[in-house]
Amino acid sequence: MLDFTFYSPTEFVFGHNTESKTGALALQYGAKKVLIVYGGGSAVRSGLLDRVKKSLDANGIEHCEMGGVQANPTDKKVYEGIETARREQIDFIIAVGGGSVIDTAKSIACGVTYDGDFWDFFIGKEKVSEALPVGVVLTIPAAGSEGSGNAVITNETTKQKLGIKQPMTLRPKFAIMNPELTMTLPAWQTASGICDMMVHILERYFTNTPNTEISDRMCEGVLTAIINEGRKVMQNPNDYDARANIMWSGMVAHNGTCGVGCEEDWSGHQMEHEISALYNVTHGAGLAVVTPAYMEFMSKHNPKRIAQFAQRVFNVTPDFGTEEDIALEGVKLFRQFLHDDLKLPITLEDLLPNLSRNEIEEAISEFVKRLHKNKGEQFGLFYPITPDVSTEIYKLALKK
């Protein structure tokens, strides 16, 4: 087990009607004037935004707002938010939405207090030393951004989709998590979120660090819970308890609870980011295509952890065959879950239905080119990802 620091100071307030506590929590964390960041119209139509504002009013907290954040959020809304926050002399930001909204809010939070261009943080030119405090009212369990210090933003000009990890400055002060708010999510979004949170765990689980039993068992436990409750949620979207289990799993998957003491990789996420940056696909759906392909490749080249996943999460028995056989069977069962239960695409053809086979092959060349431009000729800790390897993995995501 490697040395590590675990620091997750967010106050999570979970359960029925908890959005009514937004104002009291914002007050507790010192808010005087809040910028509310949100996405499309659903937060407005459902009345959620009004309830949040009412709660702020009741606690004497001023507020203004910025809507219109979209999936795969871009730098444009961040610049807009920074300008608004400065003009309105905001001292606290509340994100009402899912990962895209929260990541935009975090990026505004560190951009406001920085003299230069916030994008400097994302290209590694500067480190975040301070940020406005952020609170969250979560509506989509997926990204886990409500409990992490991470944010991912796409630069509209350069088409780079890049992330930052600043656990000491960008973790939300509080996160309000009411599973009822997730009941009206479209099945597609619920499913993509479930895949996203599973992969957040797998990216930590696919490690070469030995003797990480406590982390392994927690990862496997959370993955098992997500599969069981994910099936329930897909069958009955109004199942409060299943929604609650999924919502909490999404947080646990990404706040650092899983993966302590492991060298983490995240190659799969990086390979997906190239797809969603260019084609604006839903991140979780992109992962449903890329991650099993990555695992299929690793079943031949570094099978140990994939085989352990197969045995402990999908109950493949040790007598099934070689370590590679066991690993590949796990990948097959994982793909079945994604396809049959979650109704997600598991091939590039299904993910990008408007492209011909030829165009998909050209797209793969482009993904590989951009991936290694962003990450270097060789990257990856679990297995070295060279252009040959990434090409093979993207090709394993083609229809067989």
Tokens of 103: 């990541």
CA distance 56 to 305: 47
Q: Which is nearer to its own copies, 51 or 76 (CB)?
A: 51
Structural contact between residues 81 and 66, judged by C-beta atoms closer than 8 angstroms: yes
Q: How far is the CB of 87 from its own copies (least distance, A)?
A: 32
Identify residues 250-279 at the interface with its own copies (CB under 8 A).
252, 257, 260-261
What is the rounded CA–CA span in Å between residue 39 and residue 101? 6
Site string for its own copies, 297-326 (x = CB under 8 A): ------------------------------
Pick the closer one to its own copies by CB: 107 or 212.
212
Q: How many CB atoms lie within 10 A of CB 333?
A: 17
Nearer to its own copies, 189 or 249 (CB): 249
Q: Give the residue, chosen from 42, 70, 224, 386, that forms a contact with its own copies under the rule CB under 8 A.
A: 224
Identified binder of its own copies from the candidate list 198, 218, 307, 326, rule CB under 8 A: 218
Distance between CA atoms of 235 and 256, rounded to whole angstroms?
A: 30
SS3 of 135, please? strand
Q: Alpha-carbon distance 177 to 162, whole Å?
A: 26
Site residue total, its own copies (CB under 8 A): 43
Using CA atoms, how far residue 363 sits from 68, 196, 393, in Å, is 29, 22, 13
Dihedral angle over CA of 99, 103, 106, 107, nearest 10 = -170
Residue placing its CB nearer to its own copies in the complex, 112 or 252 = 252
Tell the smallest beta-carbon distance from residue 176 to its own copies (Å): 10
Task: Tell whether residue 121 is a contact of its own copies (CB under 8 A).
Answer: no
**Residue 47: CB minimum distance to its own copies, A:** 20
Ramachandran assignment for 126, one of left (phi > 0), alpha (psi -120 to 50 degrees), beta (any other) = beta
Q: Which of residues 14-43 bind its own copies (CB under 8 A)?
A: 14-16, 18
C-beta closer to its own copies: residue 82 or 258: 258
- The sign of the dihedral angle between the CA atoms of 230, 235, 236, 237 is positive
Three-state secondary structure call for residue 96: strand
- Choosing from 154, 166, 249, 270, the residue that interacts with its own copies (CB under 8 A) is 249
Sole binder of its own copies in the list 19, 196, 220, 329 (CB under 8 A) = 220
Residues 331-360 within binding reach of its own copies (CB under 8 A)? none
In the set 248, 294, 314, 367, which binds its own copies (CB under 8 A)? 248
Binding of its own copies by 11 (CB under 8 A): yes
Full DSSP string of 273-315: HHHHHHH---HHHHHHHHHHHHHHHHHHHS-HHHHHHHHHHS-
Pattern 198-217, its own copies, x by CB under 8 A? ------------xxxxx-xx
Minimal distance, residue 28 CB to its own copies, in Å: 10
| CB atoms closer than 10 angstroms to residue 40 | 15
Q: How many CB atoms lie within 10 A of CB 202?
A: 26
Minimum CB distance to its own copies smaller for 225 or for 333: 225
CA angle centred on 68, ends 67 and 69, rounded to 5°: 100
Among residues 148, 190, 207, 245, the one that binds its own copies under rule CB under 8 A: 245
Q: In degrees rounded to 5, what are phi and psi of residue 137?
A: -115, 105
Sign of the Cα torsion 19, 56, 96, 8 reads negative
222 contacts its own copies (rule: CB under 8 A): yes
Q: How far is the CB of 312 from its own copies (least distance, A)?
A: 9
The nearer residue to its own copies, 40 or 221, going by C-beta atoms, is 221
With respect to its own copies, which residue has the nearer C-beta, 247 or 371? 247
Name the residues that contact its own copies, by CB under 8 A.
Answer: 1-16, 18, 210-214, 216-218, 220-222, 224-225, 228-229, 240-242, 244-245, 248-249, 252, 257, 260-261
